[in-house]
Structures are given as structure tokens and as C-alpha cells.
Structure 1
Amino acid sequence: MGRKKSAEKLKVVAVRVDPAIERRLRLLAEISGRKPSYFLQQLIEGGLGALEEAWLPADVLAQVRAGTVPEPAGAQSGPDLFGDMEQ
């Protein structure tokens, strides 16, 4: 993944994870010499398509695959995209 053009700058997303997962990610990063964000980016890019296929309606999925990602209806800006997802 190369450098992004100014119009394509990467966005920051905050996510809460179990401490054991965070430790595993930190260990992977430390031993590999890469940053944790690299591995998170790889996970997201590798798994997003499967999540979209499972969760998006067919018409929206077709738009995404065509490269026209619709803006989410409840687009909001804030530090936590998913709210408090305690389960």
C-alpha cells in the first residue's frame, strides 16, 4: 500500500478490543517490526468484503462493488463509530 494522495488521506477509526487481543497485536507488531496499525489495516481490508456480503442488502452491495459506496444514512462524526457495544 503506497502513500495516499491528499484527497485520499487515511481516516482514523477507534475500536475497543479485549486486552488479550491488544497484547497479541502488540506482540505481532513488535516481533515483525511493523506497526499495529499495519496489521489492523490488513485485517480490515481482508475481511471487509465478507462482512459486506453477509450484512448489506444486494442492491447496496452491488453499488459498493461498482465503486460507488453510498454515504451511510446516519453519518456522524465522533470518536466512537459503533457506540458502546458492551454485550
Structure 2
Amino acid sequence: MATSIRLAPEIEKRLDSLAAETGRTKAYYLRQIIEQGIEEVEDYYLAANTQERIRKGLEKTHSADTVRKNLGLDD
């Protein structure tokens, strides 16, 4: 799938330098950056989304005391 993005000039310059120095393509490094960073980005934005749903009362929450009691951890 082809995707197009705009990079800040200083980032593009760094990417150009890296590609030139190593003989690899800019696309190679962009794939590496995305593959190595996607999990962190998913974690952050999905957690932020859940937090917003909790704030709006759209997610059910449970107190630590209730969870411990229901799991039999208070014994």
C-alpha cells in the first residue's frame, strides 16, 4: 500500500543523510521506524481513548477493593 506523508525539513534531511551514508533507501528506514514504533503509538492512543471514555462515563470501572474481593485475593 502506497502512503504519502510530509516530513519536517530537518527530519527529511536526517533521513536523507542516513540513507546516503548507509546505502539503504529512505523507504527502508521509514518502514523500520513505523514497525518499531507502532506498538508504542497504539498503546498510548488506545489508552488515551479509553481514558476519555471513562471520563465521559462510557466505560465501566471497578475499584481495586472490589476486584480483590471478587478474585478472592483478600483472604
Q: Distance in 2 between matches of 1:20 and 1:54?
A: 25
Counterpart in the other structure of 1:50: 40
Unmatched runs of 5 consecutive residues or more in structure 2: 48-75
Q: Is 1:35 matched up with 2:16?
A: no
Counterpart in the other structure of 1:13: 3
Unmatched runs of 5 consecutive residues or more in structure 1: 1-10, 58-87
- Equivalent residue pairs, number: 47
Higher relative contact order (Cα pairs below 8 Å, separated by 6+ residues): 1
How far is 1:35 from its partner?
Answer: 0.2
- Percent same amino acid among aligned pairs? 38
State the structure with more CA Rg.
Answer: 2
TM-score when normalising by structure 2: 0.59
Counterpart in the other structure of 1:82: none
CA RMSD of the aligned region, Å?
1.0
How far is 1:20 from its partner?
Answer: 0.9
Structure having the higher helix fraction is 2
Runs (4+) off by over 3 Å: none
How far is 1:56 from its partner?
Answer: 1.7
User: What is the one-letter code of the residue matched to 1:46?
Assistant: Q
